[in-house]
Amino acid sequence: MRALRKTLIALATLAASAAVLADVNIGVSLSLTGPGSGLGIPMQNYYKIFPKEIAGEKVNLIILDDASDPGKGAQNARRFVTDDKVDMIIGSCLTTVAAAMVDIAAESGTVQLAASPVGVPPGKDQWLFRLPQSNTVMAHAMIGHMKKQGVKTVGFLGYTDAYGEQWLKEFTPEAEKNGIRIIAVERFARPDTSVTPQALKLVAANPDAMLIVASGSGAAMPHKAIVERNFKGKIYQTHAAATKDLMRIGGKDVEGSFVVSGPAVIAEQLPESHPSKKLAIDFVQKYEKAVGPGTRNQFAGHAYDSQVVLEKVLPIALKQAKPGTREFRAAIRDAMETMGRTVFSHGVMNWSKTDHWGFTNETGVMLKVSGGDFKVD
């Protein structure tokens, strides 16, 4: 009888372990507090309505706050791979935080699906894929718009961190090829509450347009500083500023400015021929039903697109290995590299073994702030 009981306990334990093994565990690190909260909270809002099951397997989201801090992001990533044994990491929504997670994800052989346009040296993104459009793709759309507006000179005001550096590095050569010069460059740190000295220098340089490289609610402060110094030229913002926070905090000072964005933010304004229109509208309807009218957000759209990714790659990976194993994590990466043309709410993605960015130059949409809202320009 004792032997039978031991056998039954062992079988029950094995069955329980198998059930746990069958779950797909996703670690999600988002900036829910700190300067990046305007990006992370909308993503979290979408993850609250994320499907509980994909491809017949239970999907568990383990959501942690990285507090907009790279050190905390690295700590979250380490917990995901050591304690939670996740099958994928999503995050972070801030470039600097996502960058701090890259090596940890790669060491464990875990796909990191970044929600920010994080750049790494060549060869270091074997396990890193990006949900946002690359800065190069978005700069292409912005520079095309500047040319149409007759812009010849630009003043640059951007973060001192990787996001600001990447934009300056990728914008400059494309702009120069199109006859546009950057004539003044100023920087500021994310925690700064004033950029008055930088704004004075930039306005004194008298460029045709200003390019502000900031994110979320933090994008309004430098914008207002430029306007308050009586700058009369055009002001451009990047896709990290394509949130309602820009208008909520910036008020009348951001009226008439231009913001580059993915198509999900203005779903209804897309032409019927746009490949992303159907999914963009689906995202907006689901998100605003759950969160409220007018709450759509560039980063919430990235959360929606992460669902599109999982719905396409999990059925493929599950044929190769069981969740919770290194083989399954590798199968997810391989499926992402070979999933082919895939329509997202934010454009058309086509990751490959040599391209973990995926979006094409046709992706960026130029918006104008008009009447406290975004309009396609």
As a whole number of angstroms, the distance between CA 183 and CA 181 comes to 6
In this structure, is the dihedral angle defined by the CA atoms of residues 246, 248, 252 and 256, taken in order, positive or negative?
positive
Helix (H) or strand (E) holding 45: helix 37-47
pLDDT in tens, the chain (377 residues): 455 454 444 444 444 444 445 699 999 999 999 988 989 999 999 999 999 999 999 999 999 999 999 999 999 999 999 999 999 999 999 999 999 999 999 999 999 999 998 988 888 999 999 999 888 989 999 999 999 999 999 999 999 988 899 999 999 999 999 999 999 999 999 999 999 999 999 999 999 999 999 988 899 999 999 999 999 999 999 988 988 889 999 999 999 999 999 899 899 999 898 899 999 999 999 999 999 998 998 899 999 999 999 999 999 999 999 999 999 999 999 999 999 999 999 999 999 999 999 998 878 899 999 999 999 98
Q: pTM to 2 decimals?
A: 0.81
Per-residue model confidence (pLDDT) at position 363: 81
Q: Please say whether the beta carbons of 261 and 364 come within 8 A.
A: yes
All domains of the chain in start order, with CATH: 2-133+285-349 (3.40.50.2300), 136-261 (3.40.50.2300)
Q: How far apart are alpha carbons 195 and 198 in whole angstroms?
A: 5
Question: What distance in Å separates the CA atoms of residue 318 and residue 157, rounded to the nearest whole number?
Answer: 46
| pLDDT on residue 2 | 52
Count CB-CB contacts under 10 A for residue 216: 29
Which pLDDT belongs to residue 360? 81
Of all helices (H) and strands (E), which one includes residue 328?
Answer: helix 326-337
Residue 201, number of CB atoms within 10 A of its CB: 16
**DSSP conformation class of 126:** S
Rg (CA), the chain: 22
Tokens 């979290």 label which residue? 44
Q: Are 105 and 89 in contact, with CB atoms under 8 Å apart? A: yes
